[in-house]
A = this chain, B = another copy of it.
Amino acid sequence: MASDIIRSDIGRRTGIALWRQIADAIRAGISSGLGDENGKLPPETELAEQFGVNRHTVRSAISALVSDGILRAEQGRGTFIIRPERLTYPISKRTRFSASLAEQGQKGEARIMSSEIMPASAEVAKALALETEAPVLQIRSVGIGGETPISRTTAWFDCHRFPQMADNLARFGSVTKAFAACGLDDYLRKSTMVEAYHATLDDIEILRLSPGSIVLVTLATNADLQGRPVQFSKTRFAADRVSLQIELDPFKQD
């Protein structure tokens, strides 16, 4: 059979509506080659049979995906996939947001949403090797690739070491350039943690997700060439829009 691609079965009384489970299955199926060469899905009746549910239930799933901009339904013709692929976002020693998107022909942009000086929480203080409550600059930004939001980041910087950081960031709109203007020419990714969660309401609003979507969360520390931490950040990626590519480079590019 053509599309045995969706194998994930459907359960009842799980607290997750059937239409929701089906929507998620279709979403996942898209990245593994669901749909024919034109991105056309099997007809509703066939999907219903595959999932063992009523056609109405499949329709609920599809209409949710349509309003998410994932599918497009045309009466008499069929239902088609709109946005097929994921962006690959590299994590390496020299991870820089805008540069990595530019490589994929996307206009990358990190839009700064807020900027605030505050006392460091225990977590932030530890990551930046500061005293708790030491003043830090907190920046919230949203990463945009092409048209759609990809990620949202909260980043912290030591106010003491980089007093002009807020101004520089506002002026240049780029962490790399702002650091340079503060006298730090280079920095490297020191550590990264990756976790996955269900999207919060904030995620849903800011990243334009549908409820119950997944976010990939990275906790990252950047450090100067002496190994002293200069930036701590938490980034929440829309999981169905990215693959995180981890570049350990034990083998330099040849």
Contact = CB atoms under 8 A, between A and B. Distances in A.
A202 to B, nearest CB: 8
A248 B211 contact: no
Nearest to A213: B198
Contact of A244 (B9, B188, B195, B227): B195
Contacts of A190: 248, 250-251
Interface of A: 7-11, 14-17, 19-21, 23-25, 28, 31, 60, 64, 86, 88, 91-93, 188-198, 200-202, 204, 210-212, 214-216, 223, 227, 239, 242-248, 250-251, 254
A93 B246 contact: no
A225 to B, nearest CB: 9
Contact of A216 (B11, B196, B198): B196
A21 B212 contact: yes
Given A201-B8, A239-B197, A15 B212 contact: yes
Contacts of A9: 200-202
A interface secondary structure, majority: mixed
A96 to B, nearest CB: 14
Nearest to A197: B28
Contact of A195 (B19, B91, B243): B243
Nearest to A91: B246
A244 B192 CA distance: 8
Contacts of A216: 194-196
B247 A191 contact: yes
24 contacts: A7-B200, A8-B198, A8-B202, A9-B202, A11-B201, A15-B19, A15-B212, A16-B212, A17-B17, A21-B198, A31-B195, A88-B193, A91-B246, A188-B250, A190-B250, A191-B245, A193-B244, A193-B245, A194-B216, A194-B243, A194-B246, A195-B244, A197-B214, A248-B248
Contacts of A16: 15-17, 20, 211-212
A250 B214 CA distance: 30
- Which of A64, A210, A248 has its CB near the most chain B CB atoms (within 10 A)? A248
Nearest to A245: B193
Contact of A214 (B64, B91, B198, B223): B198
